Structure 1
Amino acid sequence: MHVNSPLPLLIYILLDVLIAVACCLGNVLVIWAVWTCGALRQPTFCFIASLAVADFLVGSVAIPLAVLVENHMKTSFHGCLFMCCVLLMLQMTSVVLLLAIAIDRCLRVRIPLTYKSTVTKKRSWILVALCWFTAVVWGFIPMFGWHNYNAVDGPANENTTSFECSFLTVISTSYLVNFIFFSSLLPPLAIMTGLYCYIFLTTRRQLRANIGAAAESSTYYQKELRLAASLALVLVLFAVCWLPLFLMHSVRYYGHNIEVPSVAIDIGVLLSHANSAVNPIVYAFRIPKIKEACKKLWRRVCHEREQQSDQNNTQNNTDRNTNSITENTGTKNNKIKDSGIERCESRE
């Protein structure tokens, strides 16, 4: 980010902080919902929970690091490079997990009879681990040499902490555009788009073929269609939030005479961060199991609030009664004292 006055910087940090809070709260809720409803026994929800963990890390780790990096934090070159690699790693984690989800849903439709024996819980978690490992390898490639060390006088700053950290200063634009965007982002997005198209066409064909047939088969494909539509919406939101930023970087890299405003880059960064905050909203409103778990949590919170309110009202009523009794007792004592004084005065 490039800012020339404090106000844009303050606005940028404020928006990023709000997005970070939304990321953390929303994805913690999703993880809790998946855990409590017992959905982790199903492969798809293993991937959804892992994606929620990645989105939570975006809010709790990536966004704070991004604020430090774009605020030109003083550090060493490789310290800055490491922080930037963490940002890339979490973004690549989302890509590979979304691809794993799409493949899982495709297998669910392609081989419905042997799906449970093929895609087991153990294999699902192994695939989740492979997704994270792949994302770590892709994201930390700059640490092994594909960076701007020599271009920014890196050797002179190697043993100092006076280097002004900035994402595009340490990360090679060729790595960001050619490897991350054209090689690691666009191909998976194209594959996922094709897989979801196949899922929608197959389920619709099966539903038309099962008209008047067994209700159980139709219900199965209807559920698959609804879940696939929800997960496809997550994919669409990912593309909408991330593609503008990478397209602007590509224009900057290849269009040497084209100037992309820094404000547009800042908005693209905020939009990419916001993607991790909108996913829980999709899960909560579109996926039945997570939606039901969230409703139960909401009812529990409301019930506890009602109980607390009733207890407070009862306590207040008790306090009022106690105060009333105390006041009445005091009034009676005063009256007795006054009558005693009057009798003494009459005797005198």
Structure 2
Amino acid sequence: MLNRNVSLLMLMAEITIALASVLGNVLVVLVVCVNRALRNTTFCFIVSLAVADIAVGVLVIPLAIVISLGFNTQFYTCLFLSCLLLIITQSSILSLLAIAIDRYLRVKIPTKYDIIMTQGRAYVAVCLCWILSFLTGLVPMIGWNNLNPQGNLSSSNEIVCKFTSVIRMDFMVYFNFFGWVVVPLSIMIALYAEIFRVIRRQLNKRAEATCDRDRYYRKELKLAKSLALVVFLFVVCWLPIHIINCIDFFCPKCKLPKFATYVGIFMSHVNSALNPLVYAFRIKRFRATLVQITNRCMLCKTTGPTPFNSASLSHPSITTADS
């Protein structure tokens, strides 16, 4: 009876997170569409991340619930459904990496940034992130899976669909975690460390700094802190399930409670609902537009058009969202 109550609570929590992820990230996309000042390359990547988080609420969480029920299906059907989870997760990581690279270029080469990072190239980068996510996420479909490893599984027979019954744990640890989580996150950490170093150095140049230049780097510092917080939350939410996978793989005799696995999976889903909160509380212009949308759509208030400051600062290539 206790297990049934716990399962019911987990199910309700998952449904709540799914709804919050979809609603919050749809608002992120809507805010960027409404406010022209946010339609820059950085928010292009943020929209890509929001789309991935919407997919978590629409696809990943429902699929995770269905797979946890252990329904009977063909091997490759179950494998494909499991690969969809990997694809969407990978797109989030690559979107975060693209955001970090974009911010690095903005503070490292501000005078050449607009020439190098055009809107068209940002769209191409987003497409490449998703293509790479599909390619890496579908790797188990071409052979790195649990089909007939010891002659006990067949693609023609029905199996009880479980993630671990079709996805090999060495794939999850070596390829997915070490190759496509640890490496991108390490690059992100290094990029943000360099971003903060460059900004601090520029802000310390009081003698040669103009008012506009100082304001530019202060804005960049605030936005970089917000985006670094998004990366930090991603690490906090996704690390538990990957640590559990590593323990299962490297220490098969170490028996972890199933509840720990459920909590790890749940934490990974929670991450998709947190990003809109970071934008709303940390990015001033985003928050102002969100309030306008809320007043207009939910409170039936008429508001003026979203303010757009087209004036650039005297520092070259300065067009960034307020933080």
Do they fold alike, i.e. is TM over 0.5? yes
Q: State yes or no: 1:268 paired with 2:267.
A: no
The 1:168–1:303 alpha-carbon spacing in structure 2 relative to 1, beyond 3 Å, is closer
> Which residue number corresponds to residue 192 of structure 1?
188
Residues 210 and 217, structure 1, Cα contact 8 Å, conserved in 2? no
Aligned positions, number: 301
Q: Report how far residue 299 of structure 1 moved.
A: 2.7
Taking the TM superposition and a 5 Å limit, the aligned residue runs for 1:320-335 are none
Deviations 1:69-108 (A, max 9, x none): 1110221111010000000110000111100100000000
Q: Which has the larger radius of gyration?
A: 1
TM (norm. structure 2) is: 0.89
Letter in 2 for 1:280: P
Residues 23 and 59, structure 1, Cα contact 8 Å, conserved in 2? yes
The 1:141–1:201 alpha-carbon spacing in structure 2 relative to 1, beyond 3 Å, is same
Residue identity (%): 41
Distance in 2, Cα, partners of 1:303 & 1:165? 45
> Which residue number corresponds to residue 61 of structure 2?
63
Letter in 2 for 1:76: Q
Q: Report how far residue 213 of structure 1 moved.
A: 3.2
> Which residue number corresponds to residue 306 of structure 2?
none
Residues 203 and 209, structure 2, Cα contact 8 Å, conserved in 1? no
Higher mean C-alpha displacement, 99-108 vs 256-265? 256-265
Higher mean C-alpha displacement, 143-152 vs 166-175? 143-152
Q: State yes or no: 1:289 paired with 2:285.
A: yes
Distance in 1, Cα, partners of 2:192 & 2:226? 11
Q: Report how far residue 214 of structure 1 moved.
A: 1.2
Q: Report how far residue 7 of structure 1 moved.
A: 2.2
Distance in 2, Cα, partners of 1:244 & 1:217? 41
Q: State yes or no: 1:112 paired with 2:77.
A: no
Q: State yes or no: 1:17 paired with 2:15.
A: yes
The 1:90–1:302 alpha-carbon spacing in structure 2 relative to 1, beyond 3 Å, is closer
The 1:303–1:244 alpha-carbon spacing in structure 2 relative to 1, beyond 3 Å, is closer
Alignment root-mean-square deviation, CA: 1.8
Structure 1: tracts of 5 or more residues without a match = 307-348
Q: Report how far residue 302 of structure 1 moved.
A: 6.0
Distance in 1, Cα, partners of 2:207 & 2:199? 12
Q: State yes or no: 1:8 paired with 2:6.
A: yes
> Which residue number corresponds to residue 311 of structure 2?
none
Higher mean C-alpha displacement, 265-274 vs 32-41? 32-41
Distance in 1, Cα, partners of 2:226 & 2:120? 25
Residues 69 and 165, structure 1, Cα contact 8 Å, conserved in 2? yes
Distance in 1, Cα, partners of 2:109 & 2:275? 28
Deviations 1:42-72 (A, max 9, x none): 1101000110000000001111011001110
> Which residue number corresponds to residue 77 of structure 2?
79
Taking the TM superposition and a 5 Å limit, the aligned residue runs for 1:222-301 are 222-301=218-297
Residues 63 and 81, structure 2, Cα contact 8 Å, conserved in 1? yes
Higher mean C-alpha displacement, 296-305 vs 14-23? 296-305
Distance in 2, Cα, partners of 1:269 & 1:55? 15
Q: Report how far residue 5 of structure 1 moved.
A: 3.7
The 1:139–1:302 alpha-carbon spacing in structure 2 relative to 1, beyond 3 Å, is closer
TM (norm. structure 1) is: 0.83
Q: Report how far residue 4 of structure 1 moved.
A: 9.1
Q: 1:101 aligns with which of 91, 99, 102?
A: 99
Distance in 1, Cα, partners of 2:261 & 2:208? 54
The 1:57–1:123 alpha-carbon spacing in structure 2 relative to 1, beyond 3 Å, is same
> Which residue number corresponds to residue 175 of structure 1?
171
Letter in 1 for 2:216: Y
The 1:265–1:39 alpha-carbon spacing in structure 2 relative to 1, beyond 3 Å, is farther
